[in-house]
Amino acid sequence: MPSYLPPLRDLEFVLHEMLDAGTAFKAMPAHADLDADTLQAVLAEAGRFCAEVIAPLNRVGDREGCRLDPASHQVTTPTGFADAYRQYVAGGWPSLSCDPDFGGQGLPVTINQALYEMLNSASQAWTMYPGLSHGAYDCLHAHGTAAQRALYLPKLVSGEWTGTMCLTESHCGTDLGLLRTRAEPLADGSWRLNGEKIFISAGEHDLAANIVHLVLARIADAPPGSRGISLFVVPKFLPGPDGTPDARNGIWCGGLEHKMGIHGNATCQMVLQDAIGTLVGEPNKGLAAMFVMMNAARLGVGAQSVGLSEVAYQNAAAYARERAQGRSLAGPAAPAQAADPILVHADVRRLLLSARAFAEGGRALLLWTALSIDRSLHAETAEERSEEAERVALLTPIVKAFLTDNGWIATSHCLQVLGGHGYIAEWGMEQFVRDARINMIYEGTNAVQALDLLGRKVLGDGGRRLGALMRELGAFLAECAGEPAMQEFTQPLGRLAERLGALTAAIGARARSEPEEVGAAAVDYLRICGHLVFAWLWARMARIALGRQTQGDPFYTAKLATARFYFARLLPEVEALFVQIEAGPATLAGMPAGLF
């Protein structure tokens, strides 16, 4: 059975040594009273909860899955899931970063992000239940009416109720403009909804007293396409006069999806038959409101993949230290034994270091992005809040796509370390691989993220957001110019930044005459941008490690070794990506459609 040790030392390093989060929080009036000891105490207790309560449920959830009673439409979650959720609520974890006006603790989003990484390492399937609730909270907090916020937010914040987002239909996934679910106005101001949704994570379960569904639907005479989508809040049970669950609403689970992974989460086919809901925001403006939840979910999916990369690495490294097979090519490393631990073999080290670099780099990117979210919410000046929000918008597709691609690679590499045992269920590694695969698909496939990054976030604004990021990167390179020990990191980073700037201009120029240029380049372009950000973060971490390696702490030795591995073995992937982009769309368009 896999084990899990919360990476508290690395979380502390990223938060306090790299990001200097304590100083950043003190500059925000909402968090000015926080100190590093308090934050570490919260994370330590969160790590204990994840390791002791949630992690033991991961294999249970995978083996048992969820069960649907067709008569009652009730879903039963795997053994222990509901009890763990009760402990989660009792511990106050759902309210960690929520608004105190609605019962939240008001801690930074950055700390909540660290919590969710650990929860996802422990069990991605279990974590999806409370994780989706946070997105529903964000959406209603931003766009709900005063009555909706007063009714739903305290319940979501406490964890008494959970939330979902109901977007996808059988004929429409990413292209939500095709959705058919309908909403009709009622005399009392509410709406009656009819339709069907699929792939609804946590759509039905036995963890909470009520489920708050955020549903996209069309009203009569709505404009065609995405301009005619409205958003509604549709609870499983209609709240009574005192706000407690009362009559069963006309929304239920019609079936459970049979999936490759995340078996412990109920992925539901939802039926709406005369379901009663209330409008969120303005008519036909629902997609903009739902994007609050969708963007939160995209960052959450990045955390899922970092969490899986971390736990897979931990277990693969432990196996490699113990498993004896073959001899080191340099001579026996353990001459008293019949064979050496497989950690002596070069390719085992390559696999492990790749997973470690992706996990630690991903953690740095997640927390850096989360700190920008905190600044976008709480910085003192409107200008700074706007700048940070622009950075978050630019980084969100990178977090979602780059980190989930890396999570798939990392978990697959870790399975490879275990060899045949990795393919056997009892070791738990093959579950990490299966669970990781969904992260590249849902909340907008990674190709959709790439089109968003290149088409909207870079070319769409004339490179303004990317330019701001590049200027900050340039300032870092200038700081390091007089540090000889940093040149092994800053020189390739500087070259990559310069090449990316030229590539962006070239793609923009070609796209003016070739409409398929952006589509052909986007996925490779996002991956180059991901490596640029990773290289920057790894250079920052290496700089700290260089300055502190004389302290004799092996943590800094390992950090520096991983940074050097990343620059030498993983960053060169960009060379092939540049070549692929330069090939243009011709090789993709050359095959006649009838020959596929």
What residues act catalytically? 443
CA distance 180 to 361: 41
Residue 129 CA from chain centroid, whole number:
14
DSSP string, 344-370: GSHHHHHHHHHHHHHHHHHHHHHHHHH
CA distance 195 to 270: 9
Residue found by looking up tokens 């990001």 in the block: 19
455: its two tokens = 């088409």
CA distance 535 to 488: 11
**8 Å CB contact between 367 and 19:** yes
Instruction: Fill in the amino acid letter for 393.
Output: A
Q: Is 590 helix (H, G, I), strand (E, B) or coil?
A: coil
364: its two tokens = 């740095």
Give the single-character DSSP code of 167: -
CA distance 392 to 403: 15
Could you tell me the maximum CA-CA distance found in the chain, to the nearest angstrom? 84
CA distance 452 to 525: 11
484-503: burial string, b at 16+ Cβ within 10 Å, e else: eebeebbebbbebbeebeeb
**Dihedral (C-alpha) 150, 153, 155, 158: value to the nearest 10 degrees?**
-130
CA separation, residue 173 to residues 39, 167, 197, 441 (Å): 39, 8, 10, 11
Give the number of residues written for the chain: 596
406: its two tokens = 């890396």
Q: Round the CA-based radius of gyration of the chain to a whole number and report it.
A: 24
Relative to beta strand 74-76, strand 161-166 is unpaired
Residue 477 neighbours by CB under 8 Å, 6+ apart: 490, 493, 494, 497
243-254: burial string, b at 16+ Cβ within 10 Å, e else: eebeeebbbbbb
Relative to beta strand 230-235, strand 245-248 is unpaired
443: its two tokens = 């909340």
393: its two tokens = 């918008």
97: its two tokens = 């970063």
Containing 190, the helix (H) or strand (E) segment is none
449: its two tokens = 């993220």
Relative to beta strand 161-166, strand 191-201 is unpaired
